[in-house]
């Protein structure tokens, strides 16, 4: 009987998490910015975040870094503003507010993209990364996870190397624009974490992406907790 209740609890939390992600998808709605910024949400974020973080996922880091409670709501409101700024200045980016963080996806049809088998930052990507760096400077109390991904075309090892080169290229460009390297963490996933169907040309194009996770650093967390105590 205990196992049945445990399974029901896990299912409920998973459903609640999916609902909260959908609720936070609109970065322009401040009231939805801290859906996972509650005690219950922190539990959900922690459980699912720990599982996803095993793959060093940007989204996993966002979910797993939940503070929760009122302090989490304070952080969420600050993240709302940053997410709105990214959406307004880089319209091609897919910006999703998740709990107390932000998930940003750039694919070949949006803000930061690469030519086939290339890892150099082209002129259009430079323009958008310049805007992104400017936003990161406005919000210095956040850390950034940079991930490289590919579709499933070609050799696994080659794709892993290519995704690493692309993630590194974005990281190094942001550093060149004045973003502290200490704020940046870089991961490569190759073809291992597709978000779309690799069976279609459109899906493969979307899987050739760079994904960013934006999370509160320790200073932002402390400031939020101190604000709650006042």
Report residue 91's pLDDT band, with 50, 70 and 90 as the boundaries.
confident
Q: Residue 181's closest CA among 125, 136, 127, 130?
A: 136
Q: 215 φ, ψ to 5°?
A: -130, 160
Hey, how many other C-beta atoms are within 10 angstroms of the C-beta on 195? 14
What would the pLDDT profile of 116-141 be if each residue is shown by its tens digit? 788 888 888 899 999 999 999 999 99
Mean pLDDT of the chain: 77
Q: Please say whether the structural domain 2-229 has been given the CATH code 3.30.1330.60.
A: yes
| Average pLDDT score over residue span 138-149 | 94
Q: What is the pTM of this model?
A: 0.74
Question: According to the model, what pLDDT value does residue 191 have?
Answer: 94
pLDDT tens-digit profile of 19-74?
A: 444 444 444 333 333 333 333 333 333 333 334 444 467 777 777 667 778 888 99
């Amino acid at each position: 009987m205990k196992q049945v209740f445990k399974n029901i609890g896990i299912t409920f939390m998973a459903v609640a998490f999916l609902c909260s992600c959908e609720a936070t998808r609109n970065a322009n709605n401040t009231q939805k910015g801290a859906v996972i910024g509650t005690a219950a949400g922190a539990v959900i974020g922690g459980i699912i975040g720990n599982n996803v973080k095993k793959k060093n996922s940007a989204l996993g880091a966002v979910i797993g870094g939940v503070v929760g409670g009122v302090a989490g709501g304070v952080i969420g409101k600050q993240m709302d503003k940053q997410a709105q700024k990214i959406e307004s200045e880089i319209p091609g980016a897919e910006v999703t507010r998740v709990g107390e963080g932000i998930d940003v996806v750039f694919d070949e049809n949006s803000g930061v993209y690469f030519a086939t088998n290339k890892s150099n930052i082209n002129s259009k990507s430079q323009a958008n990364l310049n805007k992104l760096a400017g936003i990161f400077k406005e919000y210095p109390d956040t850390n950034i996870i940079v991930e490289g991904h590919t579709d499933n075309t070609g050799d696994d090892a080659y794709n892993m190397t290519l995704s690493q080169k692309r993630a590194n290229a974005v990281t190094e460009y942001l550093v060149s624009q004045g973003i502290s390297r200490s704020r940046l963490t870089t991961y490569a996933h190759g073809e291992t974490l597709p978000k779309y169907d690799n069976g279609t040309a459109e899906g493969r194009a979307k899987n050739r992406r760079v994904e960013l996770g934006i999370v509160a650093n320790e200073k932002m967390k402390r400031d939020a907790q101190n604000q709650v105590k006042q």
